[in-house]
Amino acid sequence: MTRPLRIGNASGFYGDRFDAVREMLTGGPLDVLTGDYLAELTMLILGRSRLKDPGRGYATTFLRQLEENLGLAHERGVKIVTNAGGLNPAGLADAVRALADKAGLPVRVAHVEGDALPAPDGFLTANAYLGGAGIAACLRAGADVVVTGRVTDAALVTGPAAAHFGWGPEDHDALAGAVVAGHVLECGTQATGGNYAFFGAHDLRRPGFPLAEIHEDGTSVITKHDGTGGVVDVGTVTAQLLYETAGARYAGPDVTARLDTVRLTRGGPDRVRISGVRGEAPPPTLKVGLNRLGGWRNEVVFVLTGLDIEAKARLVKDQFADALARGSAGPRR
C-alpha cells in the first residue's frame, strides 16, 4: 500500500492568519500544504484590484507569506497548492518564480487556468469552478508550487491525492473520500473548533490549522499538529462537514460525494477517521460565479446565535484582544 498523504491547510479565506503557513511547515511533517483564499466575495475584491492594475487580481498576501516561507517549504520537501491566483493565476505564478529566482531556490512553479469566462454586460467577473484534474497534472509533471484560479475548495485536496495515488476520473469512491476530507479542511480552523457550538472545554483563542492523512482508498484521518490549540473530534468535524452543504449528494466537478455514506469515528486524541464515503459521477455542467459592482459597501458583523450567548461573546472578545495584542507586538500586516 502507498503510504498516506499528509495534506495541511494554512488559509480558510483571504486575510486569514498570516503566520499559519510557517506554523504548518514547522509544526510537524507534511507532504502538501494548501491554502484557500477565494470566497465569492473575494473574487469581487480581486476584480476591483485588477481594475486598478491589470497585473494584479491575485491574493497578494500569499506572495508575502511565500517570501518568508518558500525556502522552508523547499527544504522540507513540502509541495504548495493554492487557489490564490484568483483572476490572474499566471501573474501570481510569474511572481512566485521571480521570488524563487531571487532566493536562489530551484522551485518549479505551475499554474492552472481555464476557469475565466467572458463576463456578461454589467458584470465584473465570471468564473467556472474547476476540479482537481489540472492540479494533479501539474504535480505529476513535477511542480513544487501549483497556483490556480477559481477551483472548488475541495479540489485543493483531490488534485494532490489523485496525483499521489494515481486515481483516474472513474475512481469515484476514492475521489469522494478526498472531497469530504477537502471540505473539512477548506475553512481552516473551523474544523478545529472554530465553527463548533460546544466550545467551552477547549482553548480556542488560537486554534491550530487542520490536516488530513489521506489513504489510497480515499479514507482519511483529520488531525492537527501536536501542541496546537483547538480540538479535533467527531463534533467539530461534523460541524464543518455540514457547513455549506444542502442534501445527501454533494456535487462537484471531480465527483458527486454521497454525504449520507460518511462514517466518522474517533481514532485517538485529536484524530477523527472518515470512511465509507461513496461517490457517483459528477454532473455534466460546472457551477459559475458572477460578480458585479452593486454600489454597496460591506461591514463586519459577529453573528452570535444559539445557547450560551454570553460565553460566545466573551470568546469573541478574547480572540479579538489576543489578535490585537499579537499585532501590536510585531510588524504590521
How confident is the model over 4-22, as pLDDT tens digits?
Answer: 999 999 999 999 999 999 9
| Percentages of the chain per state (helix, strand, coil), in multiples of 5 | 35, 20, 45
Given a cut of 70, is residue 237 above it in pLDDT?
A: yes
How many other C-beta atoms are found inside a 10 Å radius of the C-beta of residue 226? 10
pLDDT value at residue 331:
46
pLDDT value at residue 332:
43
CA quadruple 59, 15, 10, 330: dihedral positive or negative? positive
- DSSP E strand boundaries for the chain: 5-9, 32-35, 79-82, 109-112, 125-128, 145-148, 210-214, 220-224, 249-251, 256-258, 263-268, 271-275, 278-280, 288-291
Query: What's the pLDDT band for 297 if we cut at 50, 70, 90?
Result: low
Mean pLDDT value across residues 85-92: 98
User: Coil, strand or helix: which one is 291?
Assistant: strand
Residue of 141, 137, 118, 139 lying closest to 128 (CA atoms): 118
Mean pLDDT value across residues 95-122: 97
Q: Residue 151: beta bridge partners?
A: 130
108 or 333, which is more confident?
108
User: What residues contact 283, with CB distance under 8 A and at least 6 apart?
Assistant: 251, 256
| Residue 104 DSSP class | T
Pick left, alpha or beta for residue 59 (phi over 0 → left; psi -120 to 50 → alpha; otherwise beta). beta
Q: Which amino acid is at 327?
A: G
Q: Which residue has the cell 506572495?
A: 63
- Report pLDDT digits (tens) over 166-207: 999 999 999 999 999 999 999 999 999 988 888 777 888 899
Mean pLDDT value across the chain: 94
